[in-house]
Amino acid sequence: MSCYRLEVARAALGTTRVIELPALAALSPAAGEAILTVDKFALTANNITYGVAGDMIGYWQFFPAEGDWGQIPVWGKGTVVLENDSGLNIGDEFYGYFPMASYLVVEPVQATERGFTDGAAHRQALPGVYNNYALMTAGNGFDRQFDDHQMIYRPLFTTSFVIDDYFDDNDHFGASNIILSSASSKTSFGLAFLLRKNRDVKVTGLTSAANKAFVESLNLYDQVVAYDALDTLDASENVAFVDMAGNRQVLEALHHHFGDKMVCSCGVGITHWESRDGQPPSILPGAKPKMFFAPDQIQKRNQEWGPQKFQAELSAAWQAFLVVVDGWVSINHRVGRGELEETFQEVLAGAKPDQAFVVSLE
Ligand SMILES: NC(=O)c1ccc[n+]([C@@H]2O[C@H](COP(=O)([O-])OP(=O)(O)OC[C@H]3O[C@@H](n4cnc5c(N)ncnc54)[C@H](OP(=O)(O)O)[C@@H]3O)[C@@H](O)[C@H]2O)c1
């Protein structure tokens, strides 16, 4: 099996190259290191956002590349194939943050029966959540029939869960209607699922004309409105905006439409990355737009509830989501470098919302 990785030009994500890597047989880990094959991983708009926000948030630093090239991180599964006094066992499988590459060299620290942290020096300044690898055992909460769901949805649904809790915790900021952009995205419909399930608040989905029928078919939103029909929204009620699209035109149009009735405006994603123009944000009527930072709310709940209750609540919501999500989105498996490159371009350009992708490189 040949080993390789996919790199992207950091300033032009559509430009990619494949770099050949030394064969595994030629590798011998240094003391304290382990090598995991990257068996499979999910690709969604979230990964594209890692590239779009790579310089802002430091995503390029996880898996460095040379010069103007970068490696986009993905959520996936890896297996330990080589190790040298690392605390890991050959054959152990881990869920975590990987490059789109045949393998990853890690320097495990704090290895327990639950997982380990990559202690590699270049990752130390980065948020801990991305450096942790979870052992995929039943005892550690992994139901292996849902490996694909874990890598596609879990990072997204966890964010949906935390946003839902943030709104609950703040009495919806007084809004009676919560508006989500990129309503067709997995993070948005996960949030709509939770908002609808947990309480009595109206949920409005904004989407592109091409994705409107899909969003309507989910039956999760009280109303679905295309981006070019924002002026049809009822401006008499207090609204909150959860922005998954990061599209300045949409943001400005909504704030001007609702004025002071916009009581919360919370930036989460940048799916409409091509719409970004690098201009500084304008002063808008209504609540000041601010970025949502999930770790703050997680930390608050861990203090108030304790980590066990937080995990139990998340796990119950996740189980309920797993029951329904396959009715909305089909999972496609893609294999090999040609299909990896095709899938990357497809997701970059905006894949069909009823399709999700799991890629393996061999
Ligand atoms: N801050 C956080 O902690 C956090 C955590 C999780 C996710 N997020 C963000 O949430 C967003 C959604 O991620 P996801 O993985 O859930 O997305 P996804 O399911 O892959 O969403 C796909 C949708 O995004 C829009 N889109 C994608 N590519 C596009 C393109 N090139 N041009 C225009 N629209 C495009 C389309 O929605 P519409 O047609 O409906 O607009 C499309 O149906 C991402 O920006 C992600 O980074 C943030």
Q: What is the mean pLDDT of the chain?
A: 96
Can you tell me which atom of ligand 1 is nearest the CA of 348? 31
Separation of CA 195 and ligand 1 centre (Å): 18
H or E stretch including 73?
strand 73-83
Angle at 307 between CA 304 and CA 312, to 5 degrees: 105
Exposure on the CB side of residue 22, measured as CA atoms within 13 A: 9
Separation of CA 270 and ligand 1 centre (Å): 7
43-85 pLDDT, tens digit each:
999 999 999 999 888 899 999 999 999 999 999 999 999 999 9
Q: Where are the domains of the chain?
A: 3-142+329-360, 153-297
CA distance 81 to 125: 27
- Neighbour tally for 213: CB within 10 Å: 12
User: Ligand 1 atom 30: the closest Cα is on which residue?
Assistant: 350
Cβ < 6 A, ligand 1 pocket: 44-46, 49, 156, 159, 182-187, 207-208, 211, 244-245, 268-272, 274, 294, 349-350, 353
**Token representation of residue 145:** 């029939």
104-146 pLDDT, tens digit each:
999 999 999 999 999 999 999 888 889 999 999 999 999 999 9
Q: What is the pLDDT of residue 57?
A: 84
Separation of CA 154 and ligand 1 centre (Å): 15
Note whether 102 and 92 are within 8 A (CB): no
- Neighbour tally for 341: CB within 10 Å: 16
User: Ligand 1 atom 33: the closest Cα is on which residue?
Assistant: 272
CA distance 209 to 101: 35
Separation of CA 175 and ligand 1 centre (Å): 24
CATH number of 153-297: 3.40.50.720
Tell me if 3-142+329-360 shares its fold with 153-297: no
Overall CATH class of domain 3-142+329-360: alpha beta
Q: What percent of the chain has pLDDT over 90?
A: 93
Sign of CA dihedral 138, 141, 144, 147: negative
User: Ligand 1 atom 21: the closest Cα is on which residue?
Assistant: 185
CA distance 237 to 119: 50
Note whether 4 and 102 are within 8 A (CB): yes
For a mutational test of ligand 1's pocket, the pick from 166, 182, 188, 217, i.e. the residue with the most ligand atoms closer than 8 A to its C-beta, is 182
CA distance 139 to 309: 17
Q: Which of 75-89, 95-109, 192-206, 233-247 has the lowest mean pLDDT?
A: 192-206
Q: What is the pLDDT of residue 198?
A: 65
User: Ligand 1 atom 6: the closest Cα is on which residue?
Assistant: 156
Separation of CA 244 and ligand 1 centre (Å): 6
For a mutational test of ligand 1's pocket, the pick from 185, 212, 244, 275, i.e. the residue with the most ligand atoms closer than 8 A to its C-beta, is 185
DSSP state of 101: B
Q: What is the pLDDT of residue 120?
A: 97
DSSP state of 58: -
What are the angstrom distances between the C-alpha of 141 and each of 106, 248, 320, 322?
Answer: 23, 40, 15, 14
User: Ligand 1 atom 47: the closest Cα is on which residue?
Assistant: 46
Per-residue confidence at 36, pLDDT binned at 50, 70, 90? very high
